[in-house]
Amino acid sequence: MVKYILRRLLQAVPTFFGITLLAYVLMTAAPGGPLGVLYFSNPKMSNSQKEKLALQLGVHDPVYVQYLRWLIGDDWVRWDSDGDGVADRAVLSELDADGDGVPEPPGERRGVLRGDFGTSFFSKRPVLDVISERIMPTLELSIASLTVGILIGVPLGILAAVRKGSIFDNITRILAVVFDAIPGFWLALMLLIIFAVTFHVVPLGGRCKTTLDDSCPPIYQRLEYMILPIFVLATGPIAGYSRFTRASMLDVIGQDYIRTARAKGLGERMVWFKHGARNALMPIATFLGPSLTGLLGGAVITETIFSYPGLGRALTSAATQRDYPVVMAATIYAAVATILGYLISDILYALIDPRVRFD
């Protein structure tokens, strides 16, 4: 298992770099590019200021040079190879970048591989600070909604399969289709109107009551703020897991070993949950990887509607304002989450079914 995990991590390396390269190329190909956004934010900028800004950003360098600078930084571009106190080597760009006859000092960028995603165009703060302070609210909703989806959807699918054709089976299938078809934004708005505006059961939005230091109490003290967002995000997983579990369970309960277990006199619950459900969960593990990234996409809409200060809401604002450093950081985050999600799915195969071996 350890060798398999290490092999999969090594295989994920070219995938990760491929995603970063594609994301960077798409960013540079966007109309106007990052430089156009900065020009638009300061229309009074003179031509000399624009040229100085372009040199600072290195937009005149080849695309591959810009990509390497973004990826691994430029704080190591120049160094003193012979120890004479004079920097005499350059790797990514010319020493004299602005043509004034004075060699330029090394840059300050450490690159995304070392956690430096640059500075936000609009908040003027390090992107890593923006992401780190917004990622915890998103993880709260994502982990909670995924847990609710699994704990409710899987048992519903198992019970619907063993009671095939019953009223319970028909109701769960209809509700699964309905909740799968309802747009998340419409459901969120309807729930806000009913429970927040009409009956005042839950707050209208936010993560907690506003305090002077902008801190929030523990989760158990602010559950009323999380009920509706979690419900909206969990409806998709509940519907998906219940349908796939039902289909997989129906295939399993017709196998010979299930009939053998019943012939030995085992109880129905023992047959369903110990012998049937464990094998029926194998296909379900496949959907866990995409679910992690799917919840991030759903959080973009849900957090915006419920005014929840998470990464999804920050990404919406960044995309609207064309804040490229924040958007690129969120892209890297989604890529890493997807890779780790599929790795978790593969590990679950061996945990669910001991017969699976990764040799």
Domain span at residue 285? 127-352
pLDDT at 117 over 60: yes
Residue 126 β-bridge partners: 119
Q: Are 65 and 160 in the same domain?
A: no
> With bands split at pLDDT 50, 70 and 90, how would you rate the model's confidence at 91?
very low
Q: Which of 19, 21, 49 is nearest to 35 (CA)?
A: 49
Same domain, 135 and 104: no
For the residues 338-343, what does the mean pLDDT come to? 82
- pLDDT for 92 equals 44
- The model scores a pTM over 0.75: yes
**What pairs with residue 79 in β-bridges?**
89
pLDDT reading at 101 higher than 60:
no
> Domain for residue 358, yes or no?
no
pLDDT of residue 190 exceeding 90: yes
- Does 122 reside within a domain? no
Q: Are 94 and 180 in the same domain?
A: no
Q: Provide φ and ψ at 47, rounded to 5°.
A: -65, -40
The yes-or-no verdict on residue 223 having pLDDT over 70 is yes
174 and 57 in one domain? no
Same domain membership, residue 327 and residue 300: yes
Instruction: Calculate mean pLDDT across residues 273-295.
Output: 74
3-state secondary structure of 201: coil
Residue pLDDT, tens place only, 261-279: 888 888 877 887 777 877 7
* Domain assignment of residue 93, yes or no: yes
If asked whether residues 97 and 144 sit together in one domain, one would say no
Give yes or no for a contact between 4 and 358, defined as CB atoms under 8 angstroms apart: yes
**Looking at the structure, do residues 35 and 144 belong to the same domain, yes or no?**
no
**Mean pLDDT over all residues of the chain?**
81
Residue 309: name the closest of 202, 207, 226, 205 by CA: 207
- For residue range 126-183, list pLDDT tens digits in order: 998 888 888 889 888 988 998 999 899 999 998 999 889 899 999 999 999 998 889 9
pLDDT greater than 60 at residue 193? yes
pLDDT of residue 123: 85
Domain CATH for 244: 1.10.3720.10
Q: Which of 86, 114, 142 is the last residue of a domain?
A: 114
Residues contacting 236, CB < 8 A, separation 6+: 149, 179, 180, 184, 294, 298
Q: Which residues pair with 119 in a beta bridge?
A: 126
Residue 56, Cβ neighbours under 10 Å: how many?
11
What is the reported pLDDT for 95? Answer: 47
The whole-number average pLDDT for the span 336-355 is 77
Question: In percent, how much of the chain has pLDDT > 90?
Answer: 16
pLDDT at 228: 94
Look at residue 325 and tell me whether its pLDDT is greater than 50. Answer: yes
Total of domains in the chain: 2
- What is the pLDDT at residue 93? 45
Q: Mean pLDDT throughout 302-316?
A: 87
Within-domain flag for 6: no
Cα separation of 79 and 282, whole Å? 54
What is the rounded distance in angstroms from the CA atom of residue 237 to the CA atom of residue 301?
16
Give the angle subtended at the CA of 145 by the CAs of 141 and 146, to the nearest 5°.
120
Tell me the pLDDT band of 122, cut-offs 50, 70 and 90. Answer: confident
99 and 162, same domain (yes or no): no
- Please check whether residue 10 lies inside any domain of the structure: no
Q: 170: which residues sit within 8 A by CB, 6+ positions away?
A: none
